[in-house]
Copies of this chain bind each other. A is one copy, B any other.
Amino acid sequence: MTYKELSSQIFNKKSYLCVGLDTDPHKLPPHLLKEPDPVFAFNQAIIDATADLAVAYKPNIAFYEAQGPRGWESLQRTLEYIPADCFTIADAKRGDIGNTSSLYARTFFDPDAAGLNFDSVTVAPYMGRDSVLPFLDYAGKWVILLALTSNSGSADFQRQRILTDSAREQELFEMVIKTAQTWAGPDKLMFVVGATQADELSRIRELAPDSFLLVPGVGAQGGSLAEVSRRGLTAAGGLLVNASRSILYASGGTDFADRARAEAQLLQTEMAEYLDAGVLAIK
């Protein structure tokens, strides 16, 4: 999916909601356990219930990997089921030396490898340029690089101040954002910024004015959609705000899909207001 197509989806659906498919086999409604692939059955119902409200789906790869080979099969089925007009994100946080990163890129981008054809993958920046470039080699595919994450541990290294030759002090996450933009433009590269980091979002928006930001942490982790939207929205949309647990596990019973839709609808309604108000109006 191109930058322009993603932007169009956002304004068409009046939504920048990404539904995180953090599907935990231990949290499934009991009536699904008799299905041949309960994880897929759950995802299918969640996708059916939210596809007109969401512009993106983000399977968290750990949840599938922890099920072994059958988890990868659930992931394949889920990805195939996501409608073509939705952007897909493999939340995998991979990153390794070049020849290994090439294989991770192949895993998530080349359907002839592991049967997966994601639009994008999340990548960890610690190993630098040659650990990221192989993911950028695929036409039409995106890298979503970790910048400032939503967890408390983000303070340990991401917030450290870096000594540079220039007078202006910068933190590690700022250097990551600046450096990575020398590797690819906003048509191929997004950044992960936690919703719990809203104070830093204005600074990040200045550093990456046209980049899409993937923002997890609204909902269960406590981030504010209003704050994130005020600081992060651009004329092209520029945000994908993820909610996972608050949607998936709104109910543990047979009404889980309806309740998931209701939660997604609340977020989408709020997003539509911010989009209708226009970026300048809400700033």
Contact = CB atoms under 8 A, between A and B. Distances in A.
Interface stretch (A1-9, A103-111, A257-265): A103-111
A184 interface: no
B68 A95 contact: no
Interface stretch (A39-47, A149-157, A207-215, A248-256): A149-157
Interface string A153-169: 11111101111000001
Contact of A128 (B60, B114, B157): B157
Interface string A89-102: 00101111110110
Interface string A130-145: 1110000000000000
Interface stretch (A70-78, A80-88, A266-274): A70-78
A255 B45 CA distance: 53
Interface of A: 22, 60, 62-63, 65-73, 76, 91, 93-98, 100-101, 103-104, 106-107, 113-116, 124-132, 146, 149-158, 160-163, 169, 172, 175-176, 179
Nearest to A194: B97
A242 to B, nearest CB: 12
7 contacts: A60-B100, A65-B103, A66-B104, A68-B113, A71-B114, A126-B157, A128-B158
